[in-house]
Structure 1
Amino acid sequence: MLSGLAGRYQRLIDYFVPHSIRSDRAASNQARMFLISHTMGPILGNSVPIALYIFDPTPSWDILVLSASITAFWIFPFLLKRNYDYNSLVIVSVANLNFCIFWSCYFNGGVLSPTLPWVLLIPILSFFYIGGNASLQRPLMAIFAGSFLLFLLSFYGTNPPANDTPELALVALGTVSTVAALCYVATMAIYYARIFDAGVELENEVRRRRLATDQLRAAIVAADEAGIHKAEFLARMSHELRTPLNAVIGYSQILRDDALEANDLRMREDVERIHEAGQYLLRLINIILDLSKIEAGRMQFTVKPHVLADVLNDVVSKSLPAFVAGRNTLELEVDAAAATVETDGSRLAQILGAVLDNIPMHAPGCRAELRCRLLTTRSPDDAIELTIRDSGPGIDQGRLATLFESLADKRDAAASKYGGTGLSLTIMSRQAAAMGCSLAACNATGGGALFTLVIPLQWRPRTEAKIAADERVREDEAA
């Protein structure tokens, strides 16, 4: 039951905390201290005028004024909720607190008043309200000093009303006043202790997170170093593997020619299988080599100006046999403004060829278009946009999401309708990024797949770190 009441009271306090300061932890804690004081204070403080009314044989209007000034503290939470200036509310509140305490002391014995212990609350509450705000220390001290001086001058310079309260009643009044003041201070101290404990716990949590962050950084550095060593190892081993494979492929070609001359069909079929297997294995090794080079930042480019039409015509001529075999047609359209580009022509042809090679496999019998146009609205430099579109069924949405991600495709490569390892487009995407280009894919409106390659007119290669950063940006934008 008590925990339920405490929870509801906490929600009430949080309701009065204005939204403008909730994001500031220190200001929010000070505001909660202020609100607790001004919600609990009138309840405990009014015990004094109630006791005065009970014990004083001739109660007068001064008790009513005291009760009204104590009850007025309930106005401050509503003023704070309406975004009144916090510092101004603190000054007015402390001034009212001084008035309440010294007013009670003036009419009930002066410096010998049973309500005098409440004077100790003034500096304590001032500290709770302002925390480390040094700008309010002097004004609050001035209010306290001025109020105390005014009280002394008024009490000894005038004739306060005679106090006819019996001595035993004064003892009872002092007991009530002291107990109420102690309860008030205890309530504020308990909440302040909770805030302090929360601050210590937060500092410990920050310390733990810093330690975890340092450990994570060390793990990332170790993982990066391991990745670099892996890429270097793969690059070295790929070179070692290609040498004997080239010999196998070369000798299989010789044996194939010998089988043709001897008209040995059985030997010819066997040698063809050896030759095709060797070529396939060589392509796999080249893929691994290219991927490891890109990851290790060792990919080399031969950059020079190229006539774009010549590069595209060469790509189309090399892809034409596969298109003919798949009953596909390919249309090429080159914008006259897109004349030359500074890039690695062979790498550019490799990227376009990898995209075109997928069309006969995925969309046999369909029409394809390779279009080139100059983009003059891109900043800071102009670029060339190459689009490859087919009229096929398009790309499955699940596959489209991981089309350029290495090892993201868990299909059986041997049975895949996409063919091969599924890494070809991954390699081409990373290679395009290393060349300063961008390769994207989507399903075109009206059907079919659409690949877009944007090439800057001036050579602007990117490092592996820059490529990874750009990929993170794209992922954030997509999210």
Structure 2
Amino acid sequence: MSSRAFSDAYFRLLQRFIPPEIAQHREAANCARMFLISHTFGPILGNSVPLALYLLDPTPGWDLLALGLSINAFWLFPFLLKAGISYTRLVSASVLNLNFCILLSLYHNGGVTSPTTPWILIIPILSLFYIGGDPKVRVRLLLISAACFSIFFALYLCIQPERNDLPEYAQHGLGIVSTLAALCYVATMAIYYGRIFDASRELEAEVRRRRGVSEELRGAVIAIEAATAARSEFLARMSHELRTPLNAVIGYGQILKEDAVDEGDAMMEKDVDKILDAGQYLLRLINMILDLSKIEAGRMTFDARPLAIDAVLAGVADRHRERAGAAGTRIAVTCAADIGPLRGDEQRVIQILDAVVENAVTHTPGGLVSVSAEPCADTALFRICVTDTGAGIPPEVLATLFETFSVDRDAADGRYGGTGLNLTLVHRLAKALGGTLEAESVAGSGSTFTITLPRGAVVEARVASRTVRDLAHAA
């Protein structure tokens, strides 16, 4: 196994001992990993001191056993952390045990002249690594260390330890072993700390990069909002400018048709009908574009009044019966008796239903179009279903049915070609009313459009689709 693989496996093992409430905070998780490294790798280096004493001291005593037990007690701390013991309490207990190990070794091996003196440096280093930026706990750990040193000096002055008979060469050997172990221990902590520092620098660089991207996106959003406002104003102005002459064209066309009928000029009547059809189509297209612009800009207004849904269904069906009859299509209307009182914008509901029924009649020659209204399981909603027995909608078309400017999808695919606006408009209009418009279809078995709307007052949605501003906030 390579060193990299071993390192990754070791850190995955350490991660299992970190409680979830600590793991979700980056700084706390880094401190906990440092704590686990020192309590898994540290006892291995620390045991080199009692082992060297056992091999070099001709008369090892009880103090050597106590030292070995206290060092190996560090193995318990990872399991206590995993068991849910408070991290700060474990840190305090660990520093207390570390002081005991080091001062016990000093007490029985010459005090400040002991070969194990370098281990004293470990205490403040770990006190800083374990806690990170918490000043209260850091002060507590330093006070624990200060209290331990005070007790040690008091005992050392009042109760002199027995003279150690460790030979001079053995003391030098113990000093070398102790110093090397302490250096390895500090080096391990420093390497991991450097790894954390490098990761923090990379994270800071990524944060700066994302902040720059966010600023660029915010500027783009402002520019897009300005362009959207300009577009909405342009469409509002142009729709008015286009409607005025177009209404005049339609009005004069109707006058010409009446003259043609009076004069019995069938050829002229046919030509005028073409003019009126084109004018009505253009007027309808302008109205759809203007409505889409209002919905996207959040300027669509609604008039909530008592809604007679049975009369709405009957009116829409009657409006399409002549055209449906010419194609051999039947229209059936049913309204549930328990649908109850409703409120809504009648004109907008008619607009949605009219577009869906027109679409069904167009694509169901010689078939049946069923229109029904019923309450939903959610008492705050009701639904209208328009089901046809036509050829159905292919899956690839159904996936983009309500997207803007997709050709050959709705009832506007007459002699002038389709823009795909009608279903797109009523889909967003249903959302703006606080409802939904959904389509289901099986090729060869027909389609079902389900309009779900609130039973009560109109719920006004400012924007029916996700905007660039939403994307900017998400980033």
Q: TM-score, normalization: structure 1?
A: 0.84
- Relative distance call for 1:287 and 1:308 in structure 2 (3 A) is same
The question of 1:396 aligning with 2:388 is answered: no
Inter-partner Cα distance in structure 2 for 1:6 and 1:334: 70
TM-aligned CA deviation for residue 462 of structure 1: 0.9
Corresponding residue for residue 130 of structure 1: 131
Inter-partner Cα distance in structure 2 for 1:35 and 1:293: 60
TM-aligned CA deviation for residue 319 of structure 1: 0.8
- Relative distance call for 1:15 and 1:438 in structure 2 (3 A) is closer
Inter-partner Cα distance in structure 2 for 1:367 and 1:192: 75
Inter-partner Cα distance in structure 2 for 1:410 and 1:276: 20
Inter-partner Cα distance in structure 2 for 1:15 and 1:438: 46
Q: Name the amino acid aligned to 2:197.
A: F
Corresponding residue for residue 235 of structure 1: 236
- Relative distance call for 1:124 and 1:417 in structure 2 (3 A) is farther
- Relative distance call for 1:345 and 1:145 in structure 2 (3 A) is closer
Corresponding residue for residue 21 of structure 1: 22
User: Which stretch has the larger CA shift, 347-356 or 428-437?
Assistant: 428-437
Inter-partner Cα distance in structure 1 for 2:33 and 2:93: 17
TM-aligned CA deviation for residue 219 of structure 1: 2.0
TM-aligned CA deviation for residue 436 of structure 1: 4.4
Corresponding residue for residue 362 of structure 2: 361
Corresponding residue for residue 440 of structure 1: 438
Contact 1:228 1:295 in 2 (8 A): no
Corresponding residue for residue 164 of structure 2: 163
After TM superposition, list the pairs within 5 Å mapping 1:190-209 onto structure 2: 190-209=191-210
Q: Name the amino acid aligned to 1:74.
A: W
Inter-partner Cα distance in structure 1 for 2:39 and 2:300: 70
- Relative distance call for 1:78 and 1:410 in structure 2 (3 A) is farther
The question of 1:328 aligning with 2:329 is answered: yes
Match of 1:460 among 451, 458, 461: 458
TM-aligned CA deviation for residue 414 of structure 1: 11
Contact 1:309 1:339 in 2 (8 A): no
Inter-partner Cα distance in structure 2 for 1:435 and 1:41: 66
Inter-partner Cα distance in structure 2 for 1:364 and 1:305: 35
1:84-128 deviation digits (Å, cap 9, x = unpaired): 332332233222212221221122112221212212212221222
- Relative distance call for 1:244 and 1:439 in structure 2 (3 A) is same
Corresponding residue for residue 451 of structure 1: 449
1:211-238 deviation digits (Å, cap 9, x = unpaired): 4323323322321221122122122212
After TM superposition, list the pairs within 5 Å mapping 1:423-438 onto structure 2: 423-438=421-436
Inter-partner Cα distance in structure 2 for 1:15 and 1:308: 61
TM-aligned CA deviation for residue 264 of structure 1: 5.7
Inter-partner Cα distance in structure 1 for 2:259 and 2:421: 35
Q: Name the amino acid aligned to 2:133.
A: G
Inter-partner Cα distance in structure 2 for 1:126 and 1:326: 88
Corresponding residue SS for 2:41: helix
User: Which stretch has the larger CA shift, 50-59 or 314-323?
Assistant: 50-59
User: Which stretch has the larger CA shift, 191-200 or 223-232?
Assistant: 191-200
Unmatched tracts of structure 1, length 5 or more: 474-479
After TM superposition, list the pairs within 5 Å mapping 1:12-161 onto structure 2: 12-137=13-138, 139-161=140-162
Inter-partner Cα distance in structure 2 for 1:257 and 1:390: 37
Corresponding residue for residue 477 of structure 1: none
TM-aligned CA deviation for residue 455 of structure 1: 4.2
Contact 1:435 1:459 in 2 (8 A): no
Contact 1:322 1:357 in 2 (8 A): no
Inter-partner Cα distance in structure 1 for 2:5 and 2:373: 71
Contact 1:232 1:296 in 2 (8 A): no
1:394-415 deviation digits (Å, cap 9, x = unpaired): 43333333333323x2559999
- Relative distance call for 1:401 and 1:417 in structure 2 (3 A) is farther
Corresponding residue for residue 246 of structure 2: 245
Inter-partner Cα distance in structure 1 for 2:341 and 2:13: 71
The question of 1:387 aligning with 2:385 is answered: yes
Corresponding residue for residue 224 of structure 1: 225
Inter-partner Cα distance in structure 2 for 1:314 and 1:416: 23
- Relative distance call for 1:167 and 1:457 in structure 2 (3 A) is closer
TM-aligned CA deviation for residue 293 of structure 1: 3.1
TM-aligned CA deviation for residue 321 of structure 1: 0.8
Q: Name the amino acid aligned to 2:315.
A: D
- Relative distance call for 1:46 and 1:468 in structure 2 (3 A) is same
Corresponding residue SS for 1:364: coil
Q: Name the amino acid aligned to 1:430.
A: R
Contact 2:401 2:423 in 1 (8 A): yes
After TM superposition, list the pairs within 5 Å mapping 1:173-184 onto structure 2: 173-184=174-185
- Relative distance call for 1:152 and 1:338 in structure 2 (3 A) is closer
Corresponding residue SS for 2:313: helix
Contact 2:390 2:447 in 1 (8 A): yes
- Relative distance call for 1:80 and 1:275 in structure 2 (3 A) is same
Corresponding residue for residue 188 of structure 1: 189
TM-aligned CA deviation for residue 174 of structure 1: 2.2
Inter-partner Cα distance in structure 1 for 2:340 and 2:20: 60
Unmatched tracts of structure 2, length 5 or more: 471-475
Q: Name the amino acid aligned to 1:97.
A: L
Inter-partner Cα distance in structure 1 for 2:4 and 2:298: 61
How many residue pairs get aligned? The number is: 466
- Relative distance call for 1:291 and 1:138 in structure 2 (3 A) is closer
- Relative distance call for 1:45 and 1:393 in structure 2 (3 A) is same
Corresponding residue for residue 473 of structure 2: none
Q: TM-score, normalization: structure 2?
A: 0.84
The question of 1:278 aligning with 2:279 is answered: yes
Q: Name the amino acid aligned to 1:401.
A: A
RMSD value, Cα: 3.5
Inter-partner Cα distance in structure 2 for 1:257 and 1:64: 118
Inter-partner Cα distance in structure 2 for 1:302 and 1:81: 61
